[in-house]
Amino acid sequence: MSRLALQSAVRSGSVTLVNDYRTAAGLALGQVYRARPAQIKAPSVFIDSISEDATSFTKEESQRVVRVGIRVVWGVYDAGQTVDQRDAFVDGFYAHVMDNYHAFGANAECEWVGTSDDERWSPEWIEADTSPYFSTLVTLEGRAST
């Protein structure tokens, strides 16, 4: 894998993972965005953040760790039906990620880091939208050595 391609591979691989799982499970998740959308239509999924650590960096070798935050916006509150959909998605998506550990490329491992719910999340980049949403942040990690 090219030293410069891991972040691109993590972003596109994350979108592919969500789309493939959505199709296989027959889920109505709305649009899946590669970046933060201009407006929120629940349910929807988007790449919320990408960060990277270089755990070893020399002229000859590097070990890169790229984390991606996948935000799933479920609705305006965490009602019973909403949390049931959330639980089913997280459990099924976890298994899907485990089965597709090379989603970020042949030379990169995709690992599940965790999830975090936010019952009062709001998109701070959309000034007109001050509604709090119930959302889940799924964090995956791509590891590669070159």
**Is-above-0.85 flag for pTM?**
yes
Residues 27-47, buried b or exposed e (16+ Cβ, 10 A)?
Answer: bebbebbeeebeebebbbbbb
What confidence tens digit (pLDDT) does each residue in 67-106 have? Answer: 999 999 998 876 788 888 899 999 999 999 999 999 998 8
Evaluate whether 133 touches 121 at the Cβ level (below 8 Å).
Answer: yes
Give mean pLDDT, residues 9-32. Answer: 92
Q: In order of start, what are the domains of the chain with their CATH numbers? A: 6-145 (3.30.70.1700)
32 strand-pairing partners: 45
Give the span between the Cα atoms of 35 and 106, in whole angstroms: 24
Mean pLDDT of the chain: 88
User: Looking at 11-15, 25-29, 30-34, 107-111, which range is the least confident one?
Assistant: 25-29
> Which pLDDT band holds residue 130 (cuts at 50, 70, 90)?
confident
